[in-house]
């Protein structure tokens, strides 16, 4: 539990530093970052842990596209002990200063949670709730369709909702911390709702490299038969970043 504690300490430091943060510069037209982590042992134990994540944003005057992907794999003596892959893409079109049309697709594979393939397509509204130099908050309210191919129990197709809150606090100009809570109420089977809570903290090492810590908790009220309700993932990775120069001030 040391890494989650480090994440919480980073959040407290971020909140304190954010109180004196200068006004942020305009976001770049595009940015891309790739993170990777590796832990391996040999001798008395033979284990391998691999982690990777990807994030991309492309911005226009009214439109914005963002995509993310993550992979985690752990093996012990060549036997896979944990494996999860997830990817998502979301497009937004501004409707007003505080609202934007939003549509997204998310794909997930986690056989250790009983999910061979999960696909979620949604459409709704992204709300800009807070826009301050020290803090930003966005929310998504949407309806969608959840398709799951399960290891046990065949396939399901349910109408669902998507309710998400995403908060960001900058560490001055060197990094930031984000806090995300996502709820998936199930309209077809009310007992099958799911929640996700994620905290990340990222700090720049130089203009190109950064250190990223993350903690993800996933809860399924009605998991696949024979599997647990709660999964937790802690990550620490080195991130390589590329970004366009900010647009000139008007």
Q: Which CATH number fits domain 2-24+49-241: 3.30.1360.200, 2.60.40.10, 2.40.160.40, 3.40.50.300?
A: 2.40.160.40
Q: Which residues contact 239 (CB under 8 A, 6 or more apart)?
A: 33, 34, 35, 202, 209, 210, 211, 212
pLDDT at 1 exceeding the cut of 80: no
**pLDDT score of 2:** 47
45 confidence band (pLDDT: 50, 70, 90): confident
Q: What is the pTM of this model?
A: 0.85
Chain mean pLDDT for the chain: 89
**pLDDT score of 22:** 53
> What letters, b where the CB count within 10 A reaches 16 and e where it falls short, cover 61-88?
eeebebbebbbbebbeeeeeebebbbee
pLDDT at 115 exceeding the cut of 70: yes
Query: What is the pLDDT averaged over residues 29-53?
Result: 90
DSSP classification of residue 192: G
Helix, coil or strand: residue 15 = helix
pLDDT at 105 exceeding the cut of 90: yes
């Amino acid at each position: 539990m040391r890494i989650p504690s480090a994440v919480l300490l980073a959040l407290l430091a971020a909140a304190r530093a954010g109180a004196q943060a200068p006004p942020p510069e305009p976001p770049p037209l595009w940015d891309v970052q790739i993170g990777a982590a590796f832990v391996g042992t040999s001798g008395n134990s033979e284990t391998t842990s691999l982690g990777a994540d990807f994030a991309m944003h492309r911005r226009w005057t009214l439109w914005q596209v963002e995509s993310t992907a993550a992979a985690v794999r752990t093996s012990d003596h060549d036997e896979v002990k944990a494996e999860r892959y997830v990817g998502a893409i979301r497009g937004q079109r501004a409707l007003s200063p505080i609202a934007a049309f939003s549509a997204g697709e998310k794909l997930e594979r986690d056989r250790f949670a009983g999910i061979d393939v999960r696909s979620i397509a949604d459409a709704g509204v992204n709300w800009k709730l807070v826009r301050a130099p020290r803090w930003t908050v966005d929310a998504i309210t949407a309806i969608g369709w959840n398709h799951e191919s399960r290891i046990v129990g065949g396939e399901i197709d349910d109408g669902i909702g998507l309710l998400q809150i995403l908060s960001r606090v900058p560490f001055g100009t060197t990094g930031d911390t984000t806090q995300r809570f996502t709820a998936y109420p199930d309209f077809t089977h009310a007992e099958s709702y799911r929640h996700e809570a994620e905290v990340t903290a990222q700090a720049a090492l130089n203009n190109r490299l950064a250190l990223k810590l993350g903690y993800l908790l996933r809860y399924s009220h009605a998991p696949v038969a024979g599997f647990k309700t709660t999964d937790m993932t802690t990550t620490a990775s080195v991130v390589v970043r590329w970004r366009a120069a900010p647009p000139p001030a008007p």
